[in-house]
């Protein structure tokens, strides 16, 4: 190129995609959202803590989890695992067993008594949390990490909400729940037990609280309003769980029991009843598509001998018989057919349609309460009463789970913190999700999932031991190493080794790479060799050169 050539403007956009001095595109390192992170209701940075677990650094993995979720041992057992549904390994073999690795890390943290590592300058602000279920505990935990003083008022005799009362020991041992709650108390959060709030405004004023978070959950069952005589003992799900918690279980032993409902509560208690030696039949008015319980929960109940009948609606109870109307589904709703059948029963447990006990809020002007006791919140997660926020099962929606409640608590903590600072919390933008089609898998990925041991059903119903076992250290580390690091560079050196122009510079472990654009020809080999799509090819900027 002559001197006269470089004085003329050069429009690089007119050339076809290619290499050499006529480069029309250039590589750039990018970060995409892994599908597991994107699907996690608690907002965990799963890929980040998986990377620590891959290296065997479980304490750092624990600290990374604790930035978002204070309950790794609990959630490693009871989470409904949306992260695994979204995992890109499903396109190759089986999902990474994310919850099992998290469970291992959580159990290891309890065993080694790792403290939560955080720094927070005391703010002098006081927050009242009503309810010590997963949502309330999560909000309290995150607010404490921010330096606020947090007190929890709990109506029950033990913290944990439905984690304590509603999840059986065969799924969640009580000592693990206590250990993870104790960790929150060690951070300075206090809990007042056996204290039911009846006048929230008075509690807020008398305690000099600057904000309130409502996390009382949904611990009422909607009244079915059906005719009945006294020939069958009738309990709702929470009455049953209270009896179990207080060892008042003689009335259930070896009985013929009908359970009405199709969610997790119905299946949990039906499996407890099997351990009491009962003959258990579950009835649900809708079809399988309408049933709130997840398929694996239904399959476990069936395996343990629980009978499940769909499309049966509760009608009347008389003469030791539960009369049920056969239903059909039209336009997404279950409606009666006028045909009935009888089920002999000694006990009926109603576990259908949960509600929140929000009556104590009716005196507060501005709070909008729905018929099922749930409340309405605004974009800042605040109710219609200034300074009172809500989350968890107090919000409308049938898709209730502990992990969603934990996510609500974390989100609310951020909005409460902004409220206390007189600012509006603005959610950061999310990176696009790295779907499987974006990946360029050039290396062998065959690595079957490490499955967890599981008690045989006939053995499981003999006691309340955990049905599903954990992974060993070697298995947990192997499982973590199955992660594909979707969307984010894990320094595999694929780009570094593939570049024909040596245009990629290594910056040292943990610092990734950078491009020498003076040497890069834009050929795109690095992009094609990046297995996790951490490199994108972008158009070459138009940069006319003149008067050089």
Q: List, by residue range, all CATH 1.10.1060.10 domains of the chain.
A: 35-116+440-480
List the structure tokens of 370. 């729905």
pLDDT at 546 > cutoff 70? no
When pLDDT is cut at 50, 70 and 90, the band that residue 398 belongs to is: low
pLDDT at 444 > cutoff 80? no
Q: What is the pLDDT, as a whole number, of residue 311?
A: 97
Q: What is the pLDDT, as a whole number, of residue 428?
A: 87
Nearest CA-CA partner of 489 in 435, 533, 440, 526: 533
Start-to-end Cα distance in the chain:
13
Q: List, by residue range, all CATH 3.50.50.60 domains of the chain.
A: 126-219+356-420, 223-354
Q: List, by residue range, all CATH 3.30.70.20 domains of the chain.
A: 3-31+489-539
Predicted confidence (pLDDT) per residue in 146-172, tens digit: 999 999 999 999 999 999 999 999 999
Spatial CB neighbours of 520, under 8 Å, sequence gap ≥ 6: 23, 26, 27, 499, 501, 503
Predicted confidence (pLDDT) per residue in 453-467, tens digit: 999 999 999 999 999
CATH number, domain 3-31+489-539: 3.30.70.20
Q: What is the pLDDT, as a whole number, of residue 21?
A: 62
Mean pLDDT of the chain: 92
Bridge pairing between strands 354-355 and 190-192? unpaired
Q: What is the pLDDT, as a whole number, of residue 16?
A: 41
pLDDT at 548 > cutoff 50? no
Predicted confidence (pLDDT) per residue in 52-61, tens digit: 999 999 999 9
Predicted confidence (pLDDT) per residue in 424-443, tens digit: 898 888 889 999 998 998 77
pLDDT at 87 > cutoff 90? yes
On whether the CB atoms of residues 313 and 285 are closer than 8 A, the answer is yes
35-116+440-480 has CATH 1.10.1060.10 classification = yes
Predicted confidence (pLDDT) per residue in 491-519, tens digit: 999 999 999 999 999 999 889 999 999 99
How far apart CA 432 and CA 34 sit, in angstroms, is 9
223-354 has CATH 3.40.190.170 classification = no
Question: Other CB atoms closer than 10 Å to residue 335's CB: what's the count?
Answer: 12
pLDDT at 7 > cutoff 70? no
Q: What is the pLDDT, as a whole number, of residue 543?
A: 60
CATH superfamily of 126-219+356-420: FAD/NAD(P)-binding domain (3.50.50.60)
Predicted confidence (pLDDT) per residue in 311-322, tens digit: 999 999 999 999
Q: What is the pLDDT, as a whole number, of residue 223?
A: 87
């Amino acid at each position: 190129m002559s001197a006269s050539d470089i004085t003329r403007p050069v429009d690089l956009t007119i050339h076809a995609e290619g290499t050499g001095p006529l480069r029309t595109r250039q590589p750039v390192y990018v970060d995409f959202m892994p599908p597991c992170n994107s699907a996690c209701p608690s907002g965990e940075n799963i890929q980040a803590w998986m990377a620590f677990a891959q290296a065997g650094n479980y304490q750092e993995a624990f600290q990374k989890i604790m930035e978002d979720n204070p309950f790794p041992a609990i959630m490693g057992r009871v989470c409904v695992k949306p992260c695994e549904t979204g995992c890109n390994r499903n396109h190759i073999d089986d999902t990474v067993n994310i919850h099992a690795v998290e469970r291992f890390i959580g159990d290891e943290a309890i065993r080694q008594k790792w403290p939560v590592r955080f720094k927070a300058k005391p703010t002098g602000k006081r927050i009242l949390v009503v309810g010590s279920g997963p949502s309330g505990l999560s909000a309290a935990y995150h607010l404490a990490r921010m330096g606020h003083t947090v007190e929890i008022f709990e109506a029950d005799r033990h913290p944990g909400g439905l984690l304590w009362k509603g999840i059986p020991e065969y799924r969640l041992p009580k000592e693990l729940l206590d250990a993870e709650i104790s960790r929150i108390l060690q951070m300075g959060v206090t809990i007042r037990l056996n204290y039911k709030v009846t006048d929230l405004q008075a509690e807020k004023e008398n305690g000099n609280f600057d904000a309130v978070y409502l996390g009382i959950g949904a611990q009422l069952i909607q009244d079915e309003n059906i005719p009945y005589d006294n020939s069958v003992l009738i309990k709702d799900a929470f009455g049953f769980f209270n009896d179990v918690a207080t060892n008042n279980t003689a009335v259930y032993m070896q009985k013929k029991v009908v359970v009405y409902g199709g969610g997790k509560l119905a299946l949990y208690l039906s499996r407890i009843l099997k351990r009491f030696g009962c003959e258990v039949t579950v009835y649900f008015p809708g079809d399988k598509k309408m049933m709130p319980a997840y398929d694996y929960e239904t399959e476990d109940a069936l395996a343990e001998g629980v009978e499940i009948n769909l499309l049966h609606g509760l009608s009347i109870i008389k003469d030791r018989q539960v009369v049920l109307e056969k239903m059909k589904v039209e336009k997404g709703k279950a409606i009666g057919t006028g045909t009935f059948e009888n089920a002999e029963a000694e006990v009926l447990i109603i576990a259908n349609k949960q509600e929140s006990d929000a009556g104590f809020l009716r005196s507060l002007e501005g709070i909008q309460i729905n018929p099922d006791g749930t409340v309405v919140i605004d974009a800042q997660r605040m109710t219609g009463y200034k300074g009172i926020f809500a989350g968890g099962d107090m919000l409308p929606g049938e898709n209730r789970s502990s992990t969603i409640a934990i996510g609500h608590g974390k989100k609310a903590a951020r909005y409460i913190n902004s409220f206390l600072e007189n600012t509006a919390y603005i959610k950061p933008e999310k990176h696009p999700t790295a779907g499987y089609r974006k990946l360029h898998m050039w290396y062998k990925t065959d690595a079957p999932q490490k499955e967890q041991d599981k008690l045989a059903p006939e053995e499981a119903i003999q006691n309340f031991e955990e049905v599903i076992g954990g992974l060993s250290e070697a298995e947990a580390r192997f499982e973590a190493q199955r992660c594909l690091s979707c969307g984010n560079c894990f320094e595999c050196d694929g780009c570094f080794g593939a570049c024909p122009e040596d245009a990629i510079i290594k910056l040292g472990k943990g610092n990734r790479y950078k491009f020498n654009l003076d040497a890069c020809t834009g050929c795109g080999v690095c992009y094609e060799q990046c297995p996790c799509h951490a490199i994108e090819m972008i158009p070459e900027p138009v940069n006319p050169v003149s008067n050089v």
